[in-house]
Structures are given as structure tokens and as C-alpha cells.
């Protein structure tokens, strides 16, 4: 690799990322489902173009800010998959003038606020809790569904939406199938309660969408992390290490031979502090950068992290082979949070990839 | 509070922050030590002005980027308290033309690289491991110290520097005094090994600098987090909750009365995911915003967090008192990482406080 790197830099393999996208596009197509990938993982207009080249025209985001950014970058069909935030109603209204926008509703209060404060035409999904216990209407409360029909003719109920957050753990295909089937059953039940055959069922999470092949029971698929994947998804079994499309290139700044440690420039402000609790390399997978990308390095582990420092523990040979000023690669634990922390990415070919910036 | 808030926003109490600064300035003064506060906590030129108004003229930062930002904002005496990164030697050289710059050295390789690749005049400190086991020269390796005398006359050895990272835990004054005394003894021993009475001893970490009053044995103090403090420092005992100068204002977006939960817009991309493992409110302290600031809310805890969602668990009364669209305050677990994630802050008076942005 002949990239100009002087500080922690998130490198994206366009090839791997495009393969990940193609595979998921194909799964959605074969299942007869619309593909509305979640763009919160990359937050990048440039990476978004790779999706567009595979025929993707609808996207999911997790904030009004992200929706605004992608609307300014040519995306005009956007679902904000986060509970409707009444305090952002003005921005939502402005956005709905320019794009086909969907928001998420899970209470009468929120729907009432939307009806009263957003005059523009938009769609909304009802969030169903399909087992995660975070947001959405639980089956015990399905009687509220009939009250979530809009009183404002500009606001069209589009369907029911679920996210299997409880699939983010070590998972095999049988377990994934069970999570998917249970989720779909709840979404179907909610749709039936609403009594409208035209409503769509929107489903999505990276683990089940990665492990399973067919999603014929749903109308829309919304996975996100799969575009990059990461070390925790590999640990869970959603992908193999070879599918991970991002690598943080980190300068080596110190060596401590007596304790077999290497200090890299790369810490919580670059990776976030998500960790894999039961892994011997809890802060990411160590890789060696090569002329065409990277290769897993089995003789070193990423064991400690502070704000800017990363500490790798390695074999005698590993430590002896590394010099201060070298660059070591790390496949991040959680690519969404690592990507969020960057101002931009770098492709393996040296192209700067633009990203939403925090104002 | 009548601030215009629509999304997670880090609010800074100028009053509390200035009190924290004044207290530490006073301690340094009474100890006869120079005060070189670490600016990585706030990374803000505007917050920096509050330090300057207390007579601070020297600062510490943790990256070349931060040094560049503060140099552009009027600071001309800067120590980069992170191991010298050979890959940034050009930027370091440029920076050294404009400001009085100090870097950190802990190996012959790094010093050799500095000598050969940075032509400008600068100072360097030798990093001593005073017990943290992260970076720096351990007492077992002090024989290397004599080899860390610069061969380049432009590079002046300024002193020895230690950071008691092992003080970041529940700590009382007796334990803090012990960490400080042991650290100082090692720094004095290193100085003696170097055989130069003019060398200075630079010491700093928020827990011991907060718990102790006198630092007469050191020449320079470099704490950082104390300017804002945070929930984990209060948990450790370095400060009280009343000393915490920052609060994340978070919109309420959903309620789940049947499980006594409130969903806020505020997650890992706003706070980072540092947590207080043994706390019943592991992701921060819940506060109620008032007309003049905030007050601790004892009836709710911040129990779960994902990328954008925060889940608070509260009493029946708490949950009943909260409406979707309200704003709840959270005193972050780790203010350095939470601040790093913002594009800017907001003062309690509604002033936007500028911050270093990620490129």
C-alpha cells in the first residue's frame, strides 16, 4: 500500500465493500423485497454512489442531519429509522418539501405532534418491537395500533417496521431463522391489526440479513452494517474477516519489548470504545497492510485502549518485526462508530471519500 | 433554560468551568508549579479563552492536529503529550517554526528520527512510566535515559514527564498521595540519572490533582479533565456532581410506561460508549434542566445505550412527569470523549463555543 498516512486513517476497500453491497442487493432481489439499506454505517456520499451503481434508490438513515446530508447528495427517498423527534419538526417539514420522506411513529403523542406541526406530505412507519425491547410497540400493546392512523391526509401510513437488535450476538443460521420468523410473525400480526393490505413490512438488521438467504415474507430490507462489516460481526458469525471492508491504518509510536507490547496512534477518539468482551483481542483485529490491501496478523492482539493510544500485545517475532514509524492496520470492532468518528475516509486507491461532518 | 435545542447538544456551564479552572490555577500557584493544562478535554478555542483569562499561557495537547488548531488560536507554548510520531515530522517541523513546541520521547529510535528529520528548534520531554504501564520508560530501563540526550543542538531536553493513568479509579486522599509520591520519586530518580539539575519535572492527571492540594515537588502540572469533570470522576471521588461543567441536553422521543422507560435521542455517537461498570446508571447521571442550569434527578438512571438511542429507567413518578418532546440532561460518563464527538458546544447563555473539527 503506498497511501500517504501520518495519523489514524480509516481505509475503505472499494472492492470488498462493492461485493458486500452486490451480495445484499441480490438477496433482496431474489426475495422480491425492496432494498433500502441503512446509510448510518458509512455516512458517506461517495460510498453511497457505489450503492446507486447497484440500482439502489431508497435509503434509511438514523438522524434528520443524515437525511439532510444525503438529500443534498442526490438521494430523494429516505426513511429516518429513529423515533420522530418533535423538536426537529421544522427541519423535517423542510426536508419533506424536497424528498420523499418517511418517519417512524410509535405513539399517539408523536403522531399528533406530526399531524399538527408538519404540513408537508410524508410517509410514516409504525415501529414494532419485534423482540429487542428498545423502541416500538410490543405485542401486549397492539391495541394502540388502530389509534395510529393519521388524521392529517398529508401523512400516509406506509407500513410497519421492525429491527431485530437482539440478533447482534453469536448466532447460527437456525437461530437467525428463528429471530427472523418471530419478527416477521409480529410484523404480520401488527399489519393485520391495522387492517390494511396495502401496508408494507419493513425489516432489517445485519446479522439475520447476512446469515439468511430468502426474505420473501417482507416487502423491504434495511440492513446497514454489512456494507463495511467489522470485527464484532465476524465474531458473531455474520461475516468472515475477509468480508470486512474497512481498516484503520495506525502509526506505531512506541515499543515495549520487555512486555511484548507495541503502542499505536489509534484510540477511543478514532475507534470508539466498543469492545468484544470475550475476545482475546477485544479492541479489533490486527492486520498487516500489503500492496493490495491487508492480511490478518495472527501473532498480535489489540488488548488495551485509551483516548489516543492503542496497545497491541504480540509474539516475540511480531514485536521484533515492527519499527517505530511503521503502520499497522486494525479492523475496527464496530465500523459504524469508527466511521462516525472520522472526518473522511481514504480508499485503497488513495481517493478521499467524503463524509457527513458534525456541525 | 431557554436554549434552542432540537438534538443532543453539549451544554457548558461557563460558571462551573471557570470555577474548576480557578481552583486548579490556584493550586498550581500555591505549589510554585507552572500550570500547563491539558486541552484535549474541551478541544475548544472559546473554552481556552477562559483559561487565558486566569493567566494560563502554556498548554498540553494530545495530537499534532490539536497543537495546530490551538496554535491558530493564539497559543504559542504547546506540549504534545503523546509519543513523537515520526510520520508527522513535517507538520511538527512547520509547527515548531511558529510556536514553542515540546514533544515526548521515550526511545533512541524516536529521538534519532526527530534529530534527523526536524530541523527547527523545539523542546522534548522524556516520558517516564510512573506506574500506568502504558508508555514511558520504566525504572527497570532507566539505563536508557543517558542515551536520550539529543545530538541535534536545536532539540533541547526540557525535562521528565509522567502521567498517573493508574489514578483513574475510586480513590481517597491517602491513596492519591501515595500515587503522587511514588510518581514524583520516579521522576526525581529519572532526573538524577540524567544528571541535569535544570531539567523540569512535569506531572499531571485529574484524580490526584483534584484530591491533593500541594505539588511542591514538581515544576509543572498538566491535568485536563478537571475543566469539565464528568460522571466517572464523580464516581471515582475526584469531584462532586456539582463540579461537573457539561451536560448533554437530549430530546425525549419515546416512552414505555409499562417498563418504566424513557427513550432519549442521545447515544454512542454523542456520548461515546465509555461506561461506569458498577454503577446503577452506567451511561451517565440524569439531570433536570432548570432556568439557570441543571439539578440531579435521583429518580432516573441511564441504563442502556445504542448508536443514537439512550434508555432511561425511572420511577413511576419520573416516567409520568416526562413528555415526548421534553429535554432531559445527562452528565456524561467521560467528558473528553463526549466533547470530542461534538462539532461545537453551547454555553448556558446560548453562545456557540467553537471546537476543533475532524477533517
DSSP code for B144:
G
* B63 touches A at CB < 8 Å: yes
Q: How close is the nearest chain B Cα to the Cα of A237, in Å?
A: 20
pLDDT at A204: 94
Nearest C-alpha neighbor of B249 from the set B300, B286, B303? B286
| pLDDT above 70 for B160 | yes
- List, as one string, the DSSP characters of B239-268: S-GGG--EEEEEEEEEEEGGGTEEEEE--H
Residue B40 CA, chain-centre distance (Å), reads: 5
Name residues of chain A where pLDDT drops below 50: none
Q: How close is the nearest chain A Cα to the Cα of B175, in Å?
A: 22
SS3 sequence, B74-87? Answer: CCCEEEEEEECCHH
Provide the percentage of residues in chain B whose pLDDT is more than 70: 100
Residue of A5, A38, A68, A83 to mutate, testing the B interface (most B Cβ within 10 Å of its Cβ): A83
| pLDDT above 90 for B274 | yes
* A336 touches B at CB < 8 Å: yes
Q: Give the one of A165, A308, A325 whose C-beta lies nearest to B113's C-beta.
A: A325
Q: Do B254 and A63 touch (CB under 8 A)?
A: no
Q: Do B265 and A82 touch (CB under 8 A)?
A: yes
* CA pair distance B193, B195, nearest whole angstrom: 5
* CA pair distance B31, B211, nearest whole angstrom: 14
Burial class, A213, CB count within 10 angstroms (exposed 0-12 / middle 13-18 / buried 19+) = exposed
∠ CA A264-A268-A273, nearest 5°, is 120
Using an 8 Å CB-CB cutoff, list chain A residues near B308: 40, 62-63, 82
When pLDDT is averaged across residues B268-283 and rounded to a whole number, the result is 95
What ipTM goes with this model?
A: 0.96
* CA pair distance A356, A358, nearest whole angstrom: 7
| pLDDT above 80 for B90 | yes
* CA pair distance B107, B84, nearest whole angstrom: 10
Using an 8 Å CB-CB cutoff, list chain A residues near B343: 357-359
* CA pair distance B303, B325, nearest whole angstrom: 20
pLDDT at A275: 95
pLDDT at B58: 98
Q: How many angstroms separate the Cα of A279 from the Cα of each of A54, A332, B20, B344?
A: 35, 13, 40, 35
- Beta strands of B106-154 (E only): which ranges? 122-128
Using an 8 Å CB-CB cutoff, list chain A residues near B113: 324-325
| pLDDT above 70 for B248 | yes
Average pLDDT of chain B is: 97
Window 229-288 of A: residues touching B by CB (8 A cutoff) are: 251, 253-256, 258-259, 263, 265, 268-269, 272-274
* B165 touches A at CB < 8 Å: yes
Amino acid at each position: 500500500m503506498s497511501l500517504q498516512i501520518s495519523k489514524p486513517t480509516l481505509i475503505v476497500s472499494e472492492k470488498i465493500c462493492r461485493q458486500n453491497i452486490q451480495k445484499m442487493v441480490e438477496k433482496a432481489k431474489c426475495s422480491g423485497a425492496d432494498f433500502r439499506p441503512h446509510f448510518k454505517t458509512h455516512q458517506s456520499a461517495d460510498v453511497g454512489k457505489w450503492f446507486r451503481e447497484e440500482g439502489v434508490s431508497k435509503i434509511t438513515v438514523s438522524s434528520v442531519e443524515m437525511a439532510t446530508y444525503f438529500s443534498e447528495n442526490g438521494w430523494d427517498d429516505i426513511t429516518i429509522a429513529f423515533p420522530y423527534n418533535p423538536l426537529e419538526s421544522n427541519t423535517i417539514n423542510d426536508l419533506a418539501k424536497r424528498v420523499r420522506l418517511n418517519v417512524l411513529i410509535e405513539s399517539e403523542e408523536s403522531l399528533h405532534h406530526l399531524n399538527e406541526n408538519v404540513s408537508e406530505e410524508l410517509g410514516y412507519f409504525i415501529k414494532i418491537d419485534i423482540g429487542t425491547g428498545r423502541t416500538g410497540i410490543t405485542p401486549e400493546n397492539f391495541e394502540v395500533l388502530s389509534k395510529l392512523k393519521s388524521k392529517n391526509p398529508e401523512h400516509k401510513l406506509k407500513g410497519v417496521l421492525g429491527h431485530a437488535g437482539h440478533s447482534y450476538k453469536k448466532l447460527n443460521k437456525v437461530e437467525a431463522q428463528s429471530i427472523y420468523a418471530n419478527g416477521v410473525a409480529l410484523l404480520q400480526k401488527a399489519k393485520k391489526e391495522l387492517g390494511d393490505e396495502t401496508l408494507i413490512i419493513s425489516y432489517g438488521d445485519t446479522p439475520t440479513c447476512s446469515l439468511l438467504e430468502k426474505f420473501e415474507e417482507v416487502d423491504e430490507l434495511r440492513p446497514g452494517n454489512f456494507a463495511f462489516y467489522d470485527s464484532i460481526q465476524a465474531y458473531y458469525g455474520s461475516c468472515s474477516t475477509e468480508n470486512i471492508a474497512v481498516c484503520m491504518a495506525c502509526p506505531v509510536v512506541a515499543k515495549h519489548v520487555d512486555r511484548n507490547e507495541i503502542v499505536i496512534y489509534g484510540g477511543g477518539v478514532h475507534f470508539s470504545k466498543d469492545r468484544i468482551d470475550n475476545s482475546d483481542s477485544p479492541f479489533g483485529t490486527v492486520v498487516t497492510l500489503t500492496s493490495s490491501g491487508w492480511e490478518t496478523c495472527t501473532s498480535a492482539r489489540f488488548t488495551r485502549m485509551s483516548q489516543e493510544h492503542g496497545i497491541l500485545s504480540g509474539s516475540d517475532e511480531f514485536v521484533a518485526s515492527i519499527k517505530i514509524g511503521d503502520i499497522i492496520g486494525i479492523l475496527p470492532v464496530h465500523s459504524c462508530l469508527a466511521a462516525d468518528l472520522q472526518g473522511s475516509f481514504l480508499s485503497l486507491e488513495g481517493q478521499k471519500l467524503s463524509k457527513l461532518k458534525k456541525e
